[in-house]
């Protein structure tokens, strides 16, 4: 995705490896550069890629022809065309809200596909994890400190059980397959494995 400040989305499991946003497409099919806004004090400025600034007005970005969901992994969703005859003088943030909502749903579906493509967990494990989540949430209502202790025990368990699998996987020269199995990019997989394996990511 192009650089510039804008609203983005992530999931708890995949984090920055799958950062989603509403992307902009111009009439010629290209992606516009970020819009640079000078600071009123003259002390610098800000590059912005938020879709709402691409309305073609003076000191704004070029006019967007369509919106689409984009992800930091390189995936992009179908274009949602903008009818400027219908939009007229409306504010783009209001007129394009429905298209932007579709983009968010498209990205949600993308992350579901990423999850499906990751290495599957046995039903016994997913069942236990779901039960643990329910029990800890119930515990949080009756005894918040006990819920915190339970979460801490889960952290310890994760560190203990993932240590050797992470070390063994880090020993492989190619992290492409492990990254795909975890639903991450290679950088994200390396960082995760290094954390569980208690070693630097480049050692």
Report the pLDDT value the prediction gives residue 20, as an integer from 0 to 100. 97
pLDDT in tens, 51-66: 999 999 887 889 999 9
For the chain, how many residues are written?
A: 203
Distance CA 116, CA 76 (A): 18
Q: For residues 181 and 138, state if they share a domain.
A: yes
Q: For residues 55 and 111, state if they share a domain.
A: yes
Total domain count for the chain? 2
Range of the domain at 148: 123-197
Whole-model pTM: value is: 0.85
In a domain, 32, yes or no: yes
From 93, 117, 141, the end of a domain falls on 117
**Please, which pLDDT band fits residue 194 given cuts at 50, 70 and 90?**
very high
Q: For residues 89 and 132, state if they share a domain.
A: no
Q: Which residues pair with 76 in a beta bridge?
A: 70
Distance CA 183, CA 113 (A): 10
- pLDDT of 162 higher than 60: yes
From 100, 117, 134, the end of a domain falls on 117
From 92, 117, 142, the end of a domain falls on 117
Q: What is the helix (H) or strand (E) element at residue 48, kind and residue range?
A: strand 45-48
In a domain, 103, yes or no: yes
Q: For residues 75 and 108, state if they share a domain.
A: yes
**Please, which pLDDT band fits residue 40 given cuts at 50, 70 and 90?**
low
Q: For residues 106 and 150, state if they share a domain.
A: no
Q: For residues 181 and 130, state if they share a domain.
A: yes
């Amino acid at each position: 995705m192009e650089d510039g400040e804008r609203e983005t989305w992530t999931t708890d499991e995949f984090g920055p490896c799958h950062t989603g946003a509403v992307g902009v497409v111009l009439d010629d099919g290209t992606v516009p550069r970020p819009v640079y806004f000078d600071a009123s004090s003259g002390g610098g400025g800000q590059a912005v890629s938020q879709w709402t600034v691409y309305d073609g007005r003076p000191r704004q970005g070029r006019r967007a022809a369509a919106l689409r969901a984009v992800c930091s992994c390189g995936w992009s969703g179908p274009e949602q065309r903008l009818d400027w005859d219908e939009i007229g003088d409306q504010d783009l943030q209001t007129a394009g809200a429905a298209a932007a909502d579709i983009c968010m749903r498209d990205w949600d579906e993308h992350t579901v596909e990423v999850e499906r493509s990751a290495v599957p967990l046995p039903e016994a494990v997913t069942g236990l994890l779901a039960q643990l989540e329910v029990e800890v949430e119930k515990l949080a209502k009756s005894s918040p400190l006990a819920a915190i202790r339970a979460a801490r025990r889960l952290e310890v368990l994760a560190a203990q059980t993932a240590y050797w699998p992470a070390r063994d996987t880090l020993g492989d020269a190619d992290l492409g397959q492990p990254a795909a199995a975890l639903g991450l990019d290679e950088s994200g997989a390396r960082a995760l494995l290094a954390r569980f394996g208690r070693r630097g990511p480049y050692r």
